[in-house]
Amino acid sequence: MKPFNVYPLQSITPVKALGCYVWDDNGNRYLDLYGGHAVISIGHGQPEYCQAISQQASTMGFYSNSVQNPVQVAMAKKLGELSGYEDYNLFMVNSGAEAVENAIKLASFQTGRQKIISITKGFHGRTSLALGVTDNPKLSAPVNTVHNTIFIEMEDVDGLEKALATNDVAAVIIEGIQGISGIYEPTTAFMKSIEKLCKTSGAMFIADEIQSGYGRTGKFFAHQYAGVTPDLITIAKGMGNGFPIGGALISPKIEPYFGMLGTTFGGTHLGCAAGLAVLNVLESEKLMENAMRTGDFLIDELKKLKNVEVRGRGLMIGIEFQYPIKEMRKILLEEHHIFTGVASNPNTLRILPPLSLSKEQAVYFLKSLIKVLVKINQHEAVSIN
């Protein structure tokens, strides 16, 4: 048997990783500005995190959700404290798509309604409900094509109002910052309209913070820049720093009952030990502050480049050029040993490094990027301090 061949693979075999670096099987070191799709939040191989996982694994890695689990209670408490959502409840799963699936289901349970409003170009995952609110028909199998989603453009308040006026909408779902489409942030005015119109129509407001959350933008959640309070918030990726956990933060107005939701692997002892360690390190190493500081520096410097549009916040950055970034990305990887990410927009380079990225590492990237731009005849040489 061999792996089902659905991923186009780069020709690199990483075998070791520490902090913001990854090493391949030939001993070459790479700067990781992608964190394996925004997953590595506190850095690769962080010692406190590794210790917490190995200790929990050797004590008790798993028992089902039918017994008391103090590690899950501690994880939820810490998440409430750091995120500012202390009065919300946490339902844990194993991935982003499952988090979205359960958030939509909860919104439908709560409202008794079937329709969902979602934003064009967004991505929410590949399970059925998550695909239904993802604006990319190429990802859907025939069985996925029947769904109850109304797509509206980002910032289209009239469209939102019209769609909600039917009064059969269970939820509006929006990414805190659109990630895969190329790093597009909704305006504060749009987020506030969603909040207000959801309240008026009785729909639930779901913020998908799977990519933009967990400190990546400098605040715990990206939607907190807009000063809004969603009813449901989905999380995954940076939550486990590589350990596969996800979840939904649930407003206290949604009452649980036994059997309402369930999962075998969500919220295991081992997963929660990993998740708790991530939160502890995020706090003790002041990684949100670092994400904001290093991110601001990077964004300011990148904005000095000519003919480039820079979008994002903190360490969630989209750099849009006036031509495809394929060649630039290849040179960054092969000659400068820097991992970067792509977006569905072929001209946009997506930067999602561990939140521990230092200023020196950011400078190395900036200098390397300029060398690449010079090489491909897109920039005169300039120096970065």
Map 248-290 to HEC letters.
EEECCCCCCCCCCCCCCCCCCHHHHHHHHHHHHHHHHCCHHHH
Query: Which residue of 32, 208, 231, 301 would you call a contact of ligand PLP, by CB under 6 A?
Result: 208
Whose Cβ is closer to ligand PLP: residue 174's or residue 272's? 174
User: Which residues touch 12 (CB under 8 Å, ≥6 apart)?
Assistant: 24, 30, 333
Whose Cβ is closer to ligand PLP: residue 17's or residue 177's? 177
Query: Which residue of 43, 132, 179, 186 would you call a contact of ligand PLP, by CB under 6 A?
Result: 179
Q: How far is the CB of 221 from ligand PLP (least distance, A)?
A: 12
Whose Cβ is closer to ligand PLP: residue 96's or residue 271's? 96
Could you say which residues in the range 14-43 bind ligand PLP, by CB under 6 A? 37
In 3-state terms the chain splits into helix, strand, coil percentages (rounded to 5) of 40, 20, 45
Q: In the 8-state DSSP scheme, what is residue 26?
A: T
Whose Cβ is closer to ligand PLP: residue 214's or residue 369's? 214
Query: Which residue of 100, 129, 163, 198 would you call a contact of ligand PLP, by CB under 6 A?
Result: 100
Q: Which stretch binds ligand PLP (CB under 6 A): 24-32, 93-101, 161-169, 285-293?
A: 93-101
Q: How far is the CB of 300 from ligand PLP (least distance, A)?
A: 26
Query: Which residue of 41, 46, 95, 356 would you call a contact of ligand PLP, by CB under 6 A?
Result: 95
Whose Cβ is closer to ligand PLP: residue 173's or residue 366's? 173
CA distance 201 to 171: 10
Asked if 97 interacts with ligand PLP (CB under 6 A), we say yes
CA R_g for the chain: 21
User: Which residues touch 159 (CB under 8 Å, ≥6 apart)?
Assistant: 152, 153
Q: Which helix (H) or strand (E) holds 191?
A: helix 188-201
Query: Which residue of 108, 118, 201, 211 would you call a contact of ligand PLP, by CB under 6 A?
Result: 211
Query: Which residue of 42, 210, 250, 305 would you call a contact of ligand PLP, by CB under 6 A?
Result: 210
CA distance 28 to 23: 5
Phi and psi at residue 129, to the nearest 5°: -65, -40
Q: How far is the CB of 173 from ligand PLP (least distance, A)?
A: 9
**Side chain identity, residue 372:** V
Whose Cβ is closer to ligand PLP: residue 32's or residue 301's? 32
Asked if 180 interacts with ligand PLP (CB under 6 A), we say yes
Contact 32, 21 (CB under 8 A): yes
Q: How far is the CB of 23 from ligand PLP (least distance, A)?
A: 25
Token readout for 119 is 């934003």
Token readout for 11 is 């020709």
Helix axes 269-284, 47-60, angle to 10 degrees: 160
CA distance 349 to 370: 14
Q: How far is the CB of 342 from ligand PLP (least distance, A)?
A: 12
Could you say which residues in the range 108-167 bind ligand PLP, by CB under 6 A? 123-125
Site residue total, ligand PLP (CB under 6 A): 15
Could you say which residues in the range 342-361 bind ligand PLP, by CB under 6 A? none
Asked if 96 interacts with ligand PLP (CB under 6 A), we say yes
Whose Cβ is closer to ligand PLP: residue 19's or residue 242's? 242
User: Which residues touch 196 (CB under 8 Å, ≥6 apart)?
Assistant: none
| Residue 68, Ramachandran bin (φ over 0: left; ψ between -120 and 50: alpha; else beta) | beta
Token readout for 220 is 């715990």
Q: How far is the CB of 128 from ligand PLP (least distance, A)?
A: 12
Q: Which residues bind ligand PLP (CB under 6 A)?
A: 37, 95-97, 100, 123-125, 175, 179-180, 208, 210-211, 236
